[in-house]
Amino acid sequence: MKKLVVTFLSLRVIVHACDAQAQIPTGTKLLGGSFSYNSNKLSTTDPNFPASQQTYESKTRNFNINPSAGIFVANNLAAGITAGFSSSKSTYPYYDGNSLDKFTQVGRANTVYAAPFLRYYYLPTEAFGLYGQLSAGYSHEWNTTDFSSANRLSTKNTGYSVYTYLTPALVFFPVAKLGLELTFGGIGYNRSTANNDNSPSTQPGRKETRSSFGANFSFNNLALGASYYLGR
Angstrom distance (rounded) from CA 198 to CA 74? 50
- What pLDDT is recorded for position 210? 87
What's the pLDDT tens digit per position in 2-47?
A: 443 343 344 344 434 444 568 999 999 999 887 788 888 887 777 7
Is residue 87 within 8 A of residue 109, CB to CB? The reply is yes
Residue 203 pLDDT more than 70? no
Is residue 30 within 8 A of residue 60, CB to CB? The reply is no
How sure is the predictor about 195, in pLDDT bands with cuts at 50, 70 and 90? confident
How sure is the predictor about 155, in pLDDT bands with cuts at 50, 70 and 90? confident
Percentage above 70 pLDDT, the chain: 80
- What pLDDT is recorded for position 10? 46
Of the two residues 57 and 143, the one the predictor is more confident about is 143
Taken in order of first residue, the domains within the chain and their CATH numbers are 2-230 (2.40.160)
Is residue 102 within 8 A of residue 53, CB to CB? The reply is yes
- What pLDDT is recorded for position 154? 83
Angstrom distance (rounded) from CA 25 to CA 124? 15
Q: Identify which of 60, 56, 144 has the alpha carbon closest to the alpha carbon of residue 94.
A: 56
Of the two residues 73 and 151, the one the predictor is more confident about is 73
Cα 112 to Cα 65, 130, 139, 141: the distances in Å are 10, 28, 6, 7
Q: Chain-wide mean pLDDT for the chain? A: 82
What's the pLDDT tens digit per position in 40-86?
A: 888 777 776 666 666 777 889 998 898 999 999 999 999 999 999 99
Percentage above 90 pLDDT, the chain: 46
- What pLDDT is recorded for position 138? 96
How sure is the predictor about 175, in pLDDT bands with cuts at 50, 70 and 90? very high
DSSP string, the chain: -HHHHHHHHHHHHHHHHHHTS----TT-EEEEEEEEEEEEEEEEE-TTS-GGGSEEEEEEEEEEEEEEEEEEEETTEEEEEEEEEEEEEEEEEEE-TT---EEEEEEEEEEEEEEEEEEEEE-SSSSEEEEEEEEEEEEEEEEEEEESSTTS--EEEEEEEEEEEEEEEEEEEEETTEEEEEE-EEEEEEEEEEEE--TT--SPPEEEEEEEEEEEESGGG-EEEEEEEET-
Of the two residues 28 and 197, the one the predictor is more confident about is 28
